[in-house]
Amino acid sequence: MDNARLVVAILTLIMTLLTLLPLSRNQRWWVRVWDFPRLQMAVLSVIFLILELCFLPGGGPLAWIIVLLALGCTLYQSWWIFPYTGLANIQVKKTPHTTHSRIKLINCNVLMTNRNTAKLLKIIEENQPDIVVLLETNLWWEQQMSPLEANYSYTLKCPLENLYGMHVYSRLPLIESKIQYLVAEGIPSMHFRVRLQGGEEIVMHCLHPMPPSPTEDDESTNRDGELIAVGHTAARATYPTIVTGDLNDVAWSRTTRLFMKISGLLDPRRGRGMFNTFHASYPVLRWPLDHVFHSKEFTLIDLKRLEPMGSDHFPIMVELALNPLEGKTQQKLEIEQGDIEEAREKMENAGIKSRDVHQAEFC
């Protein structure tokens, strides 16, 4: 029993360290990576807490300290993920029956080495989105997706062999479209206006920044700077705005929260669930990496994580109604003291300014 108590105590101390580590603003990958598995860490903390309570009798003051540490980890990790549970307040109103203009989009990181193109084409055919955003696409994927162009005549293509290619297929007209490399060579983003069937126009930004990892980018600096710069652009937009893509950041991270505060955009997942899209092959190691944020002019018609299609990501589908009158009562995240300065620092560190982002608003 003493050995078991010691093992649980050591694991709890390690969990406490990993919980505290992301409090640092250090951008190194080995710090920022612990933003991702907060759900898993919360579950483990609960398990440690239960075990420690079982071992508590006769443990003395040190045992109580370990119990309190496990409880603290549980509460802290739960605080971050709570907005993405069904217990939290819903941020985006649902209006399934509406006469307003609507837009349905599918966002999917296809995994460049994946060859199950037939499954993806079937998913698109079954769901009939207006816009398809595909990430990690190369020239082979472009060729395999060519059947889409019979119904999706408006396209924006950037095939790359470095896992950061991007393609957009649209039934709706794309206006003032531009491919940019905002923070790094070979890492594109796409920016354009879309004309809806009712004649209204909206702006879309499609992103896929590099993740902080030992194999890709040692730091989150470029990812964070690009996201915040696009957030500033969205905040200044005169058109309703959507930002989508594989942001290589979880919905509950400090950076994503800062992006939402700076941009004023909403997340339809908040209060509805996590809609974890990565990793499709490992159910116990999943978190929400693929996102669709939108301005207050939109309300939600439908939100789904779609079936797997051979990638390490699930596709995600969102259908929105352009409903400014009802949408204006939706609550965005409030900017707190220090948020503006933190956002400025992130852009400066990445060497990007918000005016670098193509606004797609001027003909």
Distance CA 252, CA 107 (A): 19
Asked if 191 and 354 count as a contact pair (C-beta separation under 8 A), the reply is no
Q: How many CA atoms lie within 13 A of 223 on its CB side?
A: 27
Residues 6+ apart with CB under 8 A from 223: 209, 210, 211, 212, 217, 247, 248, 249, 255
Residue among 211, 288, 295 at smallest CA distance from 260? 295
State yes or no: cis peptide before 279, omega within 30 of 0. Answer: yes
Question: How far is the C-alpha of 213 from the C-alpha of 264, rounded, in Å?
Answer: 29
Structure tokens at 161: 């062999």
The C-alpha R_g of the chain, in whole angstroms, comes to: 22
Take residue 82 and report the two structure tokens written for it. Answer: 């709570």
Using left for φ > 0, alpha for ψ between -120 and 50, and beta otherwise, residue 192 falls in beta
Q: Which two tokens stand for residue 330?
A: 């939706």
User: If we measure between CA atoms, which residue out of 254, 351, 332 comes closest to residue 293?
Assistant: 332
Helix (H) or strand (E) holding 178: strand 174-180
d(CA 250, CA 215): 19
Query: Angle at CA 267, nearest 5°, toward 157 and 321?
Result: 75
Q: Give the 3-state secondary structure of residue 17.
A: helix
- The tens-digit pLDDT sequence of the chain (363 residues) is 577 778 888 999 999 999 999 998 889 999 999 999 999 999 999 999 998 888 766 667 888 899 999 999 999 999 999 999 999 999 999 998 888 999 999 999 999 999 999 999 999 999 999 999 999 999 999 999 999 999 999 999 999 999 999 999 999 999 999 999 999 999 999 999 999 999 999 999 999 999 998 888 899 999 999 999 999 999 999 999 999 999 999 999 999 999 999 999 999 999 999 999 999 999 999 999 999 999 999 999 999 999 999 999 999 999 999 999 999 999 999 999 899 999 999 999 999 999 999 998 865
Residues 6+ apart with CB under 8 A from 250: 35, 36, 38, 256, 287, 288, 289
Q: Which tokens is 118 given?
A: 């037939």
pTM over 0.85: yes
